[in-house]
Structure 1
Amino acid sequence: MPHHTASLFDTPKVGAWTLANRIVMAPLTRNRAPQAVPTPLMADYYSQRASAGLIITEATAISQQGQGYADVPGLYAEEQVEAWKPVTQAVHQAGGKIVCQLWHVGRVSHTSLQPHGGQPVAPSAITAKTKTVLIHNGVPEFVDVSAPRALQAYELPDIVHTYVAAARNAIHTAGFDGVEIHAANGYLLDQFLKAGSNQRRDDFGGSVENRTRLVLEVVRAVTDAVGADKVGIRLSPVTPANDAFDPDPQPLFDYLVRELAAFQLAYVHVIEGATGGARTLEDRPFDYTGLRRAYRAAAGKGAWMVNNALTKELALDEVQAGADLVAFGRPFIANPDLVERLRKGKPLAESDRSTWYGGGAKGYTDYPTLKG
């Protein structure tokens, strides 16, 4: 796409969709789906924000094993899939596009959330130095994650199949426009990618080729099932989120995006820096322009989406430097009409941090728009 006079309000063709603008609502976990079932309130929340060019839902578990936090939605039981339908319908009625982010948390979980109280699963039996959220009597509580067990190689095809089943549920039944494979932020696929969490000695550990194998198998299976033009992927090369770490991320992610290029995904979504934090990390330098160049050089045609602590000015700089899409997360919490505010240069409202996780309409669907 030429970017001579690119603006945030162009209408790019992305995969199977033509978007109303380049502004994307990033995934935001809000813990408002008791028993992992979406609620009517979620339909209000997402439809209020449907002026975004694309909405990516909060991370959504592909199985109970993939669940890591209390009251996050799933997409594996019939009741969950049915409960997503009013959400996608509300967004479409408001003129928006919405994709579901497919999530397996891996080791970032707690035995109380796992099937039969079992251990969370991971590439290797290494406990993450991080916390998860449990909710007791309506009050969110941060607790240490449980020690995981290492997945056996024979279990991995079933995990791939679970991604496929969730993607089919999303697109063929729940009415989503597409799916985003969550391979970022220290969750299962990212745990396989990064040497800090992957110390396997089989075909899924060791070399860069081996550590990227599971991600690429998931991408291949999901794109075969629902069409590559409805699939995106999210990556976070250097975020420290959930104890994610790789000593040499540049060759790892350059290799991964070159391999992803062949699939002709709708988009590649890259978190620059620390998720929800600094855009550059002193101890983890990374060349994001080089990453995009590696993808394009391998004939990758998907839209390039950038994310993390963007302002209107930074987002415009990114688009003029070659990004196709710019994702905003937290600003969308308190600004359902963020697109309009950016268009008019209006100030942004601040969100109430105490209502981010769990609760009801307060701090969720009650933020006013410019029109009141």
Structure 2
Amino acid sequence: MTDQRGDAASSRPRIVVTGAGGFLGWHVRAALVSEGFEPVALGLGEGFDLSRAARMVSSAQSVIHLAGMNRGTDPEVHDGNILFARQLSDALALADSSPRSLVYANSVQADNDSPYGRSKRAAGDLLAAETGLRGVVFRDVLLPNIFGEHGRPFYNSVVATFCHLVATGGSPTIDQDRSLTLLHAQNAADLLIGTTEDLTAMTREITVSGVLESIQGMAARYAGGDVPDITDPFDRDLFNTYRSFLFDVRPAIPLRRHADARGSFFEIVRSHGGQGQSSFSTTVPGISRGDHFHRRKVERFTVLSGEAVISIRRLFGDETVEIPVSGAEPVAVDMPTMWSHKITNTGSSELYTSFWANDVFDPASPDTFPEAV
């Protein structure tokens, strides 16, 4: 991703994203990369550079406005959301050319009279007026509660808090059991970048206690490496969210190897529902396979024979996690969603690897996107 200077060259269409460093911003950037766009981060708030922002907007195909405040005192929240919208409006007014569209990540709370709701509504009105003057298509997207991989516990959502606590052995509690309307962050990203428009079909009404019960049930299944029933897309997204919190605690799942005079045997995966696909590869020494990421797919690597290193990097980050694996001491490594990954034969003999995914590969919709680790 290019930095806030917007000076990195790219042949891909550029999409300016405000709030790119936040939870939803990370998910939106991942979705944009998967669709062949170049996300460009535009910083708002303190240190805002109007001239630089205008140049960035001028070179963009579209702008996605995510920056917002939902924590702080009432005046801080109210003034912050309006300030961000005003700064973006000023950049549009100063730009030499206008983007085709501006998409505003608004909230369903814009309909209420809270300081947050009033400020989100006022920000939308301000952006609608400015885009109207410039002939820019304006989309005001009202989003419900967002959850997903790498949410911030005790801040972004109760789902993030529950996943963090369950993954780290904590004791989740429920202060108020109420109904929630949940939308996975990748679905929210699809809405914002325009690859889907059906919000209703992607949301789930569920109680706080229902969320906790689902996460705890998945965690119990997954404790020994079993994959829970993730036939339902919501359950798959919730499972991937939980896995994102567990990865630091348990990046690899030990498998029990049975050996005798005949040879050895170990189980690779137990799936408790839904479709799946298994495959197998051989790899000569020094060669790597992978260098891609998935947005929703659950993919498991298991080395059957040989020595290798599995390298994994979270999108837009620099740190690479390396996991040594061997057929002599088998483990299963489940790739976190939106982490680029590869496996490299580090031994002197041919590497035998088993791959399992929770879906049947569809060339028309592969959920596999090239990205070097």
TM tier relative to shorter chain: 0.3 to 0.5
Structure number having the greater strand percentage: 2
Higher relative contact order (CA 8 A, sep 6+): 1
Q: Which has the larger radius of gyration?
A: 2
**TM-score, normalising length from structure 1?**
0.33
